[in-house]
């Protein structure tokens, strides 16, 4: 049996999806991505809840990350229970039934000189 790495609860305190981008789609569509790594021998059932400064949270969004796989999930693609609004600050909490690793990436393509940032999410030990 493979020893899983990571945590079961993660937070990305910063999120923002620009309403437009510069360049060909879908490669240069401005987006936020959660890169989810599941090194365990069982599929990870993941729930994502989105928090805002001026309204109630939305979610959970239900995602499956197969065993011993990675999933690069664009927040732009989350639609059920509702799409995440563009041009709106938000934060996310990601919870999994098995330990996973979460990395956050943003592509801001509003200008022809694109900006890309990436960071490991905050891992909670609870």
| Backbone region of residue 77 per phi and psi (left: phi > 0; alpha: psi in -120 to 50; beta: other values) | alpha
Query: CA angle, 92 as apex, 49 and 53 as ends, to 5°?
Result: 95
Tell me the per-residue pLDDT of 27-52, one tens digit each, with 9 for 90 and over.
Answer: 455 557 888 999 999 999 999 999 99
90-103 confidence digits (pLDDT tens): 999 999 999 999 98
Which domains occur in the chain, in start order?
7-123 (2.60.290.11)
pTM of the model: 0.81
CA distance 52 to 55: 6
pLDDT score of 46: 97
Decide if pLDDT at 71 tops 80: yes
Which of 17 and 4 is assigned the larger pLDDT? 4
Q: How far apart are CA 105 and CA 32, in angstroms?
A: 6
């Amino acid at each position: 049996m493979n020893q899983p790495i990571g945590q079961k609860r993660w937070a990305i305190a910063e999120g923002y999806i620009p309403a437009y981008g510069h360049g060909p789609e879908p490669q240069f569509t401005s987006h936020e991505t959660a890169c989810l790594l599941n090194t365990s021998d069982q599929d990870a059932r993941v729930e994502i809840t989105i928090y805002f400064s001026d309204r109630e949270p939305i979610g959970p969004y239900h995602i499956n990350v197969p065993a011993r796989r990675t999933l690069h999930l664009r927040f732009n693609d989350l639609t059920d229970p509702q799409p995440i609004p563009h041009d709106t600050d938000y934060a996310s909490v990601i919870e999994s039934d098995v330990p996973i690793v979460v990395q956050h990436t943003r592509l801001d393509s509003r200008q022809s000189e694109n900006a890309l940032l990436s960071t490991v999410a905050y891992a909670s030990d609870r």
